Structure 1
Amino acid sequence: MEKIKKDMPTGDSFASSCNACKQCTPLGACIAFKGIEGVLPMLHGSQGCATYIRRYLISHYREPVDIASSNFSEETTIFGGNRNFNTGIDNIISQYQPKVVAIASTCLSETIGEDVPKLINEYKAINADKPEVPEMIFASTPSYNGTHAEGFFNAILAAVKTLAESGEKTGSHINLISSLVSPEDIRHLKEILEDFGLEAMLFPDYSDTLDNTSWDSYTRIPDGGTPISQLKASGSARATVELGFIKNSGGMNGKIKDNYLVQSAGQFLKDKFDVPCFETGLPVGINETDKFLEIMSSLSGNPVPEKYKRQRGRLVDLYIDGHKYLSGKKTVIFGEEDMVVALAAFASEIGIKPVLCATGGESGKLRETLTKLLGPMYDEETIIGQGMSFDRMDEVMQQIKPDLMIGNSKGYYIARKMDIPIVRCGFPIHDRIGAQHFRMLGYEGATTFFSQIVNTLLEDKQRKSPVGYKYM
């Protein structure tokens, strides 16, 4: 077998990437922006960008998603988009009456050098006498610089930078800044905060805006989202808890990447308003959930509620029940960097060996983060692929022959080609329903996820057996 480098180069040996293991940066920004109450996202660029992103979000979340566009044309590309920008904002206000217009740039507007903050200031000056002008947030998100995960975090940072205000530290509330997880997992985070008696701003909160009830009539801006008042008060919180691995490992905080400054929202609140920041990973599995609940207990002054101790005990029992089906299995894990780290830690915890950890992200911190997080469980033979494409992933997998894939729907064609099972999680999931209800966080999330992995392997074994098994 051809020797495979343990740290893959930035994806492939050519400048472009075929079938990249990522989505575009403004797509991630739109997901985060949907976590603000009364928001309408707007893309400053071509109509095609908004159409593509709407299609992807609707297919994953199975909810209607409106995203406005300044609708660049050839003329706009040459002479600038200020007229389209102003017209677009006017149309948004007249048709939607949003509390917030959240603007993300695209490749086209970034390439021609559009100064969107200047456009926002000019619009506000022109309409200073109009009471209906909403809050405006801008995130710079060119797709040639980053992934949808980085667009997600950049949008969070932009919202906090724009809206957070200084104030007296009352000691009554905290900020919980989430990573890119499902609406169901966001609801679980809110449940945990409530069970610990913590008053908190959870941001972004798209648990309702991207997973709503059935409507009798169409609602242009659905209820839900983090209130603007809470975002403004985030500068006076007594602490921030920020979920995520790579952005909290020094991979992005305050670093210049391709002439673009990327900083976490928690770090900004710490530097600007002296709000202490507690950094922890996604609480997937026992080890990481233990860490997260310890932080919640410390901040609240309350012990871990008995119900979570019972959930933990049942999860340990489930691990014991299913270990014989998982021990020694080899898996490929792919998706957003934070998700890959969380899944690799979870896989190692339950006895599965991650043989390839692949992502479209290029922080350069994936192996370092995994080594630190897993400690003695880390396997030096694990292949790390950053900036990786699915085509390159396919080539590597033909050599390492894994038993399982864990990641989003875009890896299905490789699993089908190799006749191995795939457990779908992350973004996007387009060939199954229920992505918005997927549970992964906390002990109960791990219980559901563990069962899904075991049952997927059992089903594959039954399917491939010449006689079939009815008792496993």
Structure 2
Amino acid sequence: MSKMPNYVSTTNACKLCKPLGASLAFRGIEGAVPFLHGSQGCATYMRRYIISHFNEPIDIASSSLGEKHAVYGGSANLKLGLNNVISKYAPQLIGVATTCLTETIGDDVKMILHEYQEEFQNGINDPYIISVSTPSYSGTHMEGFNAALKAVVEQLSTGGNREDTINILPGFISAADLRYLKEMVKDFGISATILPDISETLDGEALNEYPLIPKGGTPIADIQKMGSSRLTLECGSTLPDETAGTSLKKMFEVPLQRFGLPIGIRETDAFMSALEKASGSPMPEKYAKARGRLIDAMVDGHKYIFGKRAIVYGEEDLVVGLTSMLAEIGVKPVLCASGGKSGKFERSIKHVLEGIDCDMPEVHENVDFFDIQERAAELEIDILIGHSKGYTFSRAENIPLIRVGFPIHDRVGGQRLLHIGYHGAQQLFDTITNTMIAKKQDDSDVGYSYM
């Protein structure tokens, strides 16, 4: 009799589910409705999770499979659901993502959608239907996000004569980050397609009437032209080998340049350099001044944060960018953790620390918060940097938590946090420094109000 392998249960995962990431990616496309092929509970859970971070309504359609469909398949429900969505929402695009249930029972979604198009569509004003495989047991929300973008590009983009425009695939960043990125591109005088764009669809204004599909998102016409762009800039140091950027390169020979998320000075410098080359123009003065103010602030606040020890957790690419910035400002990242398992996490951390006087931190992937908290007890930590799921740990250990990334459920404004560029680094620096000052002030036996 063979011995069963030992398993360690997950108690508080440092990741989210794959179709949730796909839903976020689809939400960043103009006129799109995310659609989950699976049980109703999947869509309800993801809607609630996304709403509590963005404080914006989001509709995620579902094929609402039940017990009998686990036996007989969900083809009829998927087709009925698509008809209902088209009738109610009149979308330009429907992004169909699979779930654990439909992947496990073996529904052939591509075949079902082909049947649906033959049965119900006539080619006149029909919405585009994009399909992507996203069972949660095979990855994290970031893998679902990247897979959805890859599917969108492969199923929508076409080639043609080269146009004077570039593609920017910024990864999963905040609505504020995207608005800032669009401002940067405009200031450089560059025509660019940014995919996805949730800057309005998940951070809108107050309206008298609820729109079934909010305005904003990357226009479908622009996505279709991505194959004729002269360059693609893709952000992410732990991306899979096959991405939307690599697909554009393989299918249409669009040159591809990859960067880490532009967080902190060095990573932002690299991204700015790419924009300079793409535009043929020097960096606008306002960014040069912002960089100078950032350096001045780092000198001013260095004495308050130098040598502080931090744990950074969350999505792999965000952690890599934050680690780079922390090392720049003199904070020691002693533990970098993520629920992702790209296999590129440790290598990327090592790369961004090259040339900086900073010891290599412990790097853990595919980890949960029980593991992080257990290890942190031995590391003398001063600060935690990550999303709201670390709050219980922060409270139990009385360690300040800087909330960044996604999800942020216990504060307002998660969608308005700026992480990227010199301005984002300035905000992060001020928040980290003031948090450390406040901690020292609160712990002091003598009240004082002057630094």
Measured on the aligned residues, the alpha-carbon RMSD in Å equals 1.2
Q: What CA deviation, in whole Å up to 9, does each residue of 1:142-181 have, x standing for no partner? A: 10011111111111111111101011112x1000011111
**Alpha-carbon distance in structure 1 between the residues aligned to 2:347 and 2:420:** 23
Residue matched to 2:435: 456
Q: 1:126 aligns with which of 112, 116, 119?
A: 119
| TM-score, length basis structure 1 | 0.93
What CA deviation, in whole Å up to 9, does each residue of 1:390-427 have, x standing for no partner? 01111001111210000000001111111110000011
Which residue does the alignment assign to 1:165? 158
Partner of 1:256: none
Is residue 226 of structure 2 the alignment partner of residue 234 of structure 1? yes
Deviation at 1:120, TM superposition (A): 1.1
Misfit runs of 4+, over 2 Å: 12-16, 128-133, 376-381
**Residue correspondence of structure 1 range 374-389 to structure 2 within 5 A:** 374-377=353-356, 379=358, 381-389=360-368
- 1:246 equivalent to 2:238? Answer yes
- 2:42 matched residue in structure 1: 49
Alignment match, 2:74: 81
The runs of 5 or more residues in structure 1 that have no matched partner are: 1-11, 254-262
1:174 paired to 2:166: yes
Q: Secondary structure at the match of 1:173?
A: strand
> Secondary structure, in 3 states, of the residue corresponding to 2:377?
helix
1:333 aligns with 2:326: no
Stretch of structure 1 that moved more, 455-464 or 229-238: 455-464
After TM superposition, list the pairs within 5 Å mapping 1:8-157 onto structure 2: 14-129=7-122, 131-157=124-150
Number of matched pairs: 447
The one-letter amino acid of 1:138's match is S
Q: 1:71 Cα shift? A: 0.3
**Counterpart for residue 367 of structure 1:** 346
Cα separation, 1, equivalents of 2:257 and 2:6: 39
Residue 26 of structure 1 contacts residue 142 of structure 1 at CA under 8 Å; is this kept in 2?
yes
**C-alpha contact 1:141 1:151 (8 A) present in aligned 2:** yes
Match of 1:349 in 2: 328
- Give, as a single letter, the amino acid of the residue that structure 1 aligns with 2:137: Y
Question: For 1:333, what is the secondary structure of its paired residue?
Answer: strand
Q: CA contact under 8 A between 1:42 and 1:69: conserved in structure 2? A: yes
Once the two structures are overlaid, the 10-residue window that deviates more, 348-357 or 367-376, is 367-376
Q: In the superposition, relative to structure 1, how do residues 157 and 378 fare at CA in structure 2: closer, same or farther (>3 Å)?
A: farther
CA distance in 2, matches of 1:320, 1:99: 51
Structure 1 residue aligned with 2:246:
267
Pairing 1:324–2:317 present = no
Runs of 5+ consecutive residues of structure 2 not aligned to the other structure? none
- Find the aligned partners of 1:113 and 1:32 in 2 and give their Cα distance: 24
Residue type of the alignment partner of 2:258: E
What is the deviation of 1:378?
6.9
Q: How many angstroms apart in 2 are the aligned matches of 1:135 and 1:410?
A: 36
| Counterpart residue identity of residue 402, structure 1 | I
How far apart are the structure 1 equivalents of 2:381 and 2:172? Answer: 27
The one-letter code matched in structure 2 to 1:28 is G
Deviations 1:15-72 (A, max 9, x none): 5422110000111111111110000000000000000000000000000000000001
Matched, 1:416 2:395: yes
What secondary structure is seen at the aligned counterpart in 1 of 2:16? coil
Aligned equivalents of 2:70, 2:8: Cα separation in 1: 25
> Do the aligned partners of residues 135 and 22 (structure 1) sit closer, same or farther apart at CA in structure 2, a change above 3 Å counting?
same
Q: 1:315 maps to which residue? A: 294
Question: Which string of whole-angstrom CA distances, capped at 9 and with x for unpartnered residues, describes residues 56-97 of structure 1?
Answer: 000000000000000010011110110000000000011000
- TM alignment of 1:431-446, pairs within 5 A: 431-446=410-425
SS at match of 1:137: strand
Quick one: distance in 1 between partners of 2:152 and 2:414?
26
**C-alpha distance in 1 between matches for 2:30 and 2:435:** 38
Q: Decide whether the 8 Å contact of 1:370 with 1:378 is kept in 2.
A: no
Aligned to 1:202: 194
Q: Spell out, residue by residue over 1:359-400, the C-alpha distance to the aligned partner (whole angstroms, 9 max, x if none).
A: 000112111111122113375551111000101111001111
Counterpart-to-counterpart distance in 2, 1:124 and 1:243: 35
